[in-house]
Amino acid sequence: MAIAMDLDPLIAYVEEVVSDSAAAEVPVPVSPTLTSRYRGTLLGVAAGNGLGLPAEGRSRQWIRGKFPAGLTELSPDLRNRPWGDDLAQTVMLVQALLDRPGLDSDDLAQRLLAWASADGDGIGVQTLAVVREIESGTPAADAAREVWERSGRRAAGNGAVMRCSPVALAWRRSGIRLVEESERSALVTHHDPRCVWSAIALNVALARALSGASVNIPRLSELLGLAGAPDAVTRAVRLSDGAEIEAFALDDRDGMGFTLKALQVGLWCLWQPANFEGVLVQVVSQGGDTDTNGAVAGAVMGSRVGVEGIPQRWVASIAQSERLTTLADRLLARSELGAIQHRGG
């Protein structure tokens, strides 16, 4: 990783919770809890994305007026509609991880291009600009950088962190692959280091949560700093510890959709009560980029409480929920196989 200084402590933080199983000659038996957490992560993305869609771009005040009791239900119509962009891109990343032994940036870029051409519902401004850049003939490896530089190196949207959870699912047991492929997946559309490190930070936290371990947020902030993360990222991580969600100002018009806001939502969810519905409703009620914040919150809470913790009435409204379950199971099998292959190499 070109921008890293000392990755070893961060990698060790990922792997310390699976060190015993990583030393085994064969994969450890998969417990129902781990299976449930993998399924919960992907279905959580879907549930959070769907819950937030009706309020996307709205303020807290608007949501309070429109939904006095809170936005608590997923529309049944979701089962008959294309996936929102958060879920669609998450699944694209899942398929890219499953179809090849290592994440290929060009492959993921072409998947995004095909999706944007065929549907692209809800695609973010920054991601769309990158897709258009690729369509114009710019190599995929350069497109995100070109878009970022044209913005004055200010564009730092949340599109990379919103879809990053499959990397944690695939590489929960390999810290170096988790970091490398988090970076690779982000750089396809988001070149800003704040975006790259948001994806890395969230995936490190997710990997630990999937293994049933706690996340010490001050320690995570310190380790990210040692690894070369920008000060803005380490500060955002640190400030998420013990914060009230209102402090993130998610409906601020100038910062709506900022990568660090989505990251803070995810980290905030780590230390909330294990109440999937309650936490997701609270996140979405803050307004702003509600579908993305909901998707990030859903991934984290799903990794903590498992699929059984997601309200069944919400799962019933998720389009292709059976496919998401199958993909989660394949990622779990991939993570077990990948740990052996990585150790052997």
Positive or negative CA dihedral for 237, 239, 245, 251?
A: negative
Residue 3 has pLDDT above 60, yes or no: no
Domains of the chain, first to last? 8-19+32-344 (1.10.4080.10)
DSSP designation for 198: H
Q: Which residues are CB-contacts of 290 (< 8 A; sequence separation ≥ 6)?
A: 51, 52, 53, 55, 56, 57, 58, 63, 283, 284
Cα atoms in the 13 Å half-sphere on the side-chain side of 167: 31
> What digits encode the pLDDT tens for the residues 61-72?
999 999 998 899
3-state secondary structure of 288: strand
Gap between the Cα atoms of 212 and 34, Å rounded: 8
Residue-level pLDDT at 324: 98
Which of residues 30 and 236 earns the better pLDDT score? 236
Residue 234 has pLDDT above 90, yes or no: yes
Contact present, 302 and 44 (Cβ < 8 Å):
yes
Where are the alpha helices (H) located in 171-289, listed in sequence order?
175-187, 193-210, 217-227, 231-239, 259-269, 276-284
Residue-level pLDDT at 342: 47
Residue-level pLDDT at 19: 55
Q: In the predicted model, what is the mean pLDDT of the chain?
A: 91
Q: Report the pLDDT averaged over residues 146-172.
A: 96
